[in-house]
Amino acid sequence: MPRPSAESERLAERFRLALFEVPRRGLAGDLLGRGTGSSLEFHDRRAYAPGDDVRHLDWRAMARSDQTLVRVYREELLPRLELVLDVSASLASDTEKAQRALDVAWLFARAAERASSEVRVTFAGDRPERIELESLRGREAEFVARAPLGSALHDAATLFTPGGLRVVISDFLAPHDARELVRPLAARAGGLVLVQVLSSFDRAPPIGSALRLVDAEDDTSLDAWLDEATVDAYRARLKALVDGLETETRRANGRFFSLDASEPLELQVDRDFVPASVLAAS
């Protein structure tokens, strides 16, 4: 099982996590998020609902209308990274894929530290496991979990607290509804980044080969001949899966990346993460 590579260690010293909003003063933290909360910046007005803080009643707006309105303030993003690494057996189907997933996790974690952010690391598996940052480097990650992806990420989301930047790393190669998968990950988040890590085989299985497909969750197997029609159908399903995740992440004001584990990590940093303002040179 892998540990962070020397390349990820080297890159981690060059970059910091570039959170999505500019620094501002406030009550809850130092950065403004995309939701609503208790900062000092006015965001909008809406109709009063039972349970709203009466101190936020907008008396001037009420005087101009017959509605009872409250002022809504922009939520502040706490300088905190909530990093979720999928440790399912699916990631271990290819050694390059498992290594790249761990390297990206380490890169983001160290980049967050360089941005003076708190880092919380969770392994999403048969049960969510919160680990110390140094344990991410010091111990070998075991990609052996059998829980369905949706259940594993749903359980990991129960450990989230509002306002942090959430980064989720997985191959996402499991049956799921993209909206139902992304929605709990984005709820009350200051920002969301999904990183899909695929092997070269995941992206383009070779035509004309025979193989045995083994389900990572229950070990059931299927012998298959990869003719052109079979591979074309698979690639169409993969495209639909990736497009669905990208669309739903964008709707949540997040960022989605799909990485090929066979490419150099430095190339992916320079081509994908830096232009998207997720990482910046420190």
Residue 84 lies in a domain: yes
Residue 155 lies in a domain: yes
Same domain, 142 and 257: yes
Positive or negative: CA dihedral 131, 134, 135, 140: positive
Same domain, 95 and 73: no
pLDDT tens readout for residues 98-147: 999 999 999 999 999 988 899 999 999 999 999 988 888 876 778 989 89
Which one-letter amino acid corresponds to residue 230? Answer: T
- Domain boundary, last residue among 62, 77, 92: 77
Residue 26 lies in a domain: no
Average pLDDT of the chain is 83
Which segment of 46-55, 76-85, 215-224, 261-270 scores lowest on mean pLDDT?
Answer: 215-224
Same domain, 110 and 44: no
Same domain, 124 and 138: yes
Same domain, 108 and 247: yes
Q: Assess whether pLDDT exceeds 50 at residue 252.
A: yes
Q: Look at residue 135 and give its three-state secondary structure.
A: helix
Q: Assess whether pLDDT exceeds 90 at residue 36.
A: no
Q: What is the helix (H) or strand (E) element at residue 124, kind and residue range?
A: strand 118-124
Total domains in the fold of the chain: 2
Can you spell out the DSSP letters for 241-265? HHHHHHHHHHHTT-EEEEEETTS-H
CB of 157 closer than 8 Å to CB of 150: no
Same domain, 137 and 257: yes
The pLDDT score that the predictor gives to residue 35 is: 45
Q: What is the mean pLDDT of residues 180-186?
A: 94
Burial of residue 5, with CB atoms counted within 10 A of its CB: 0-12 exposed, 13-18 middle, 19 or more buried: middle
The pLDDT score that the predictor gives to residue 211 is: 67
> Alpha-carbon distance 272 to 252, whole Å?
19
Same domain, 98 and 227: yes
Same domain, 194 and 84: yes
Q: CATH no. for residue 130?
A: 3.40.50
Same domain, 43 and 148: no
Same domain, 91 and 114: yes
CB of 246 closer than 8 Å to CB of 263: no
Instruction: Give Cα 168 to chain centroid, integer Å.
Output: 3
Residue 116 lies in a domain: yes
Residue 42 belongs to what domain range? 31-77
Same domain, 171 and 266: yes
The pLDDT score that the predictor gives to residue 75 is: 46
Same domain, 42 and 179: no
Helical segments of the chain, H only = 6-12, 59-64, 95-114, 133-138, 149-157, 178-186, 200-203, 228-251, 265-268
Cα distances (angstroms) measured from residue 151 to each of 37, 263, 266 = 29, 30, 32
- Domain boundary, last residue among 77, 92, 112: 77
Residue 124 lies in a domain: yes
Edge-to-edge strand list for the sheet holding 80-86: 129-131, 118-124, 80-86, 165-170, 191-198, 255-260
Burial of residue 144, with CB atoms counted within 10 A of its CB: 0-12 exposed, 13-18 middle, 19 or more buried: middle
Residue 25 lies in a domain: no
